[in-house]
DNA sequence: TAGCCCATGTAATTGGTTACATGATTGA
DNA sequence: TCAATCATGTAACCAATTACATGGGCTA
């Protein structure tokens, strides 16, 4: 079976909440950068295709003069298409964990390199943790502990679990490595 | 800057330990399926290219008659190329966490669907946990707690940390969701 | 003799990134 | 006036997957 673009679902998912421009979709994607990424080079062509296929409609909401701005709205067909996808089980997706591969092959390099890789990873994780905390403040704080409809909370929570686990692992490895010079 | 194939490094990493055929590399990749995946359609052409570029050499070790079998050996140049890569910091890699996306957009579906997705995810995680445990038995048990050169241990340990974190998160989410019908 | 593992490869297709191009508006 | 943000898009490129094709050897 042929793969199908997942970009379309990322886009429709946002459009399902409210109409948006390609630029706005990209901005919203920034909030879930920990789970999903899309480039403009993928967003604009896909929006065009979705319109052609009747999954979204496009309206010109030109700002003042000249500069065009297109707002996309999801159609019923688009909604159904999204809902169907949401119900589907996640297909096998090839894993490519680059740092993991480097660590696995680290025996072909030096211990110092390994420690430096782990140190760098820790930094990245701490940045991710900060980012996740800022999202937590933005979307969860001062709300109910868990409202079942609050799916952003679930995403943020997952991020916390995973980042903390990676940090713990990272620190354990560093401790062992540095303790044995 | 143009992206560069990571397949070549996955291949060279294995060849750095011992010469192997494309088929054998694929088999070894099976053990680290949790961190890296390669298809035959990528392995064989890459091996050919590596040979052409002097990063590996190819020897025909034909089994008996007819059926050809090619064993690849890493060259000094290949070794250096690998070592250099091992030292490089991990570049930004676009994230595509499909279940995460489905959960984030779950408000456009039903609670039942969300629970079912999480349940399915839990199953997958338990399978991964089992697999990781089997690797632990295969590569770590009856050895020192952590020999600094034992990088397989690090990989397996990371797997454990992450799988457990995901399972914990998954169960917390299910509890809350199921407790509020 | 059927099925599984060993073993190598190619062709078609595409999803996706990167880099480039262009211009308006806003605020320090 | 300079930088950042808003805003849309295309062209070139390629890494990678999927499906297909082929055949030997072993064993239950």
Strand C atom within 7 Å of A94 CB: no
Q: Same domain, yes or no, for A105 and A154?
A: yes
B177 CA vs D9 C1’ separation (Å): 43
**Residue pointed to by tokens 């169907």:** A84
- Using CA atoms, how far apart are residues A39 and A65, in angstroms rounded to an integer? 27
Residue that finishes a domain, picked among A87, A113, A142: A87
In the block, which residue shows the tokens 């011992």? B18
Binned at pLDDT 50, 70 and 90, residue B139 comes out as: confident
* Domain membership of residue B112 as a residue range: 98-177
Question: Which residues of B in 100-159 have their CB below 7 Å from strand C's atoms?
Answer: none
Q: Counting runs of H as helices and runs of E as strands, what totals does chain B give?
A: 7, 2
Does residue B123 lie within any of the structural domains?
yes
Residue A162: Cβ within 10 Å count: 21
Query: What pLDDT score was predicted for residue A142?
Result: 61
**pLDDT at residue A113 is higher than 70:** yes
CATH of the domain at B54: 1.10.10.10
Residue A58 resides in a domain: yes
**Domain contains B135:** yes
pLDDT over 70 (residue B100): yes
Q: Is A69 in the same domain as A105? A: no
- The answer to whether residue A31 scores a pLDDT higher than 60 is yes
Nearest to B158 among A10, A93, A100 (CB): A100
User: For A41-64, what is the mean pLDDT?
Assistant: 90
Is there a single domain that holds both residue B68 and residue B106?
no
Read off the pLDDT of each residue in A6-32 and give the average, rounded to a whole number: 96
B143-167 pLDDT, tens digit per residue, is: 655 554 578 899 999 999 999 999 9
pLDDT at A141 over 80: no
Binary contact (B86, A93; C-beta < 8 A): no
Q: Are B105 and A120 inside 8 Å of each other by CB?
A: no
Q: Give the Cα separation of B59 and B20 in Å (integer).
A: 10
Residues A106, A81, single domain; the answer is no
Q: Looking at the structure, tell me whether residues B11 and B76 fall in a common domain.
A: yes
Least confident window among A78-87, B1-10, B44-53: B1-10
Q: Considering the domain boundaries, does residue A172 fall inside one?
A: yes
CB contact under 8 A, A86 and B95: no
In this prediction, residue A147 has a pLDDT band, given cuts at 50, 70 and 90, of low
Question: For chain B, what percent of residues have pLDDT higher than 90?
Answer: 77
A156 and A108 both lie in a single domain:
yes
Residue with tokens 């679990």: A161
Write down the pLDDT at residue A148: 46
What is the Cα–Cα distance from A122 to A174, expressed in whole angstroms? Answer: 10
Claim to verify: residue B33 and residue B62 sit in the same structural domain: yes
Q: Is residue B51 part of a domain?
A: yes
Residue where the block lists tokens 């390609």: A22
Return the higher-pLDDT residue of A49 and B181: A49
Q: For residue B104, which residues of chain A lie inside 8 Å, CB to CB?
A: 13, 32, 35-36, 151-152, 154-155
What is the residue-wise DSSP string for B59-94? EE---SSSS--EEEEE-HHHHHHHHHHHHSPPPP--
Does the pLDDT at position B181 exceed 80? no
Contact yes or no for A144/B96 (Cβ under 8 A): no
Q: For residue B112, what pLDDT band results from cuts at 50, 70 and 90? A: very high
Over range B105-110, report the average pLDDT: 95
Contact yes or no for B52/A118 (Cβ under 8 A): no
Given CB atoms, is B146 within the 8 Å cutoff of chain A? Answer: yes
User: Is residue A92 assigned to a domain?
Assistant: no
Residue B114 lies in a domain: yes
Give percent above pLDDT 70 in chain A.
Answer: 90
**pLDDT of the residue at A150:** 76
Across A62-86, average pLDDT? 87
pLDDT bin (cut points 50, 70, 90) of residue B81 is very high
Q: How many CB atoms lie within 10 A of CB A126?
A: 13
* A83 and A11, same domain (yes or no): yes
Q: At what angle do helices A76-87 and B111-139 cross, to 10 degrees?
A: 40
Q: Could you tell me how many CB contacts below 8 A there are between chain A and chain B?
A: 197
Q: Is the pLDDT of residue B63 over 70?
A: no
Report the pLDDT averaged over residues B55-59.
96
What's the average model confidence in pLDDT over A1-16?
91
Same domain as A26, residue A55:
yes
- The verdict on B105 and B80 lying in the same domain is no
Q: For residue A2, is it within any domain?
A: no
Work out how many domains chain A is built from and give that number: 2
Q: Are residues A78 and A124 in the same domain?
A: no
Of residues A82, A85, A96, nearest to B6 (C-beta): A96
Flag if B164 and A162 touch (Cβ within 8 Å).
no
Most B-contacting residue of A4, A18, A97 (CB-CB within 10 A), to test interface: A97
Residue-level pLDDT at A181: 47
Lowest mean pLDDT among A132-141, B31-40, B108-117: A132-141
Tell me phi and psi for residue B10, to 5 degrees: -60, -40
- Position B171 scores a pLDDT of 96
Q: In whole angstroms, what is the distance from residue B9 CA to residue B32 CA?
A: 14
Domain end call among A87, A113, A136: A87
- From A56, A87, A118, the end of a domain falls on A87
pTM: predicted TM-score of the whole model, two decimal places = 0.91
Same domain, residue pair A157 and A134: yes
């Amino acid at each position: 079976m042929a793969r199908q673009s997942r970009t379309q679902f990322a886009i429709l998912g946002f459009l399902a909440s409210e109409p948006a421009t390609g630029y706005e979709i990209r901005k919203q994607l920034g909030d879930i950068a920990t789970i999903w990424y899309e480039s403009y080079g993928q967003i604009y062509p896909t929006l065009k295709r979705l319109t052609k296929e009747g999954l979204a409609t496009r309206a010109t909401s030109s700002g003042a003069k000249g500069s065009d701005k297109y707002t996309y709205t999801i159609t019923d067909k688009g909604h159904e298409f999204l809902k169907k996808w949401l119900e589907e089980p996640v297909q096998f997706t090839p894993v490519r964990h680059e740092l993991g591969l480097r660590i696995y092959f680290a025996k072909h390099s030096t211990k110092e390199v390994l420690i430096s890789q782990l140190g760098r990873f820790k930094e990245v994780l701490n940045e991710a943790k900060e980012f996740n905390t800022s999202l937590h403040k933005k979307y969860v704080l001062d709300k109910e502990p868990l409202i079942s409809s609050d799916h952003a909370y679930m995403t943020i929570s997952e991020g916390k679990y995973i980042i903390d686990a990676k940090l713990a692992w990272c620190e354990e490895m560093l401790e062992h490595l540095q303790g044995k010079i």
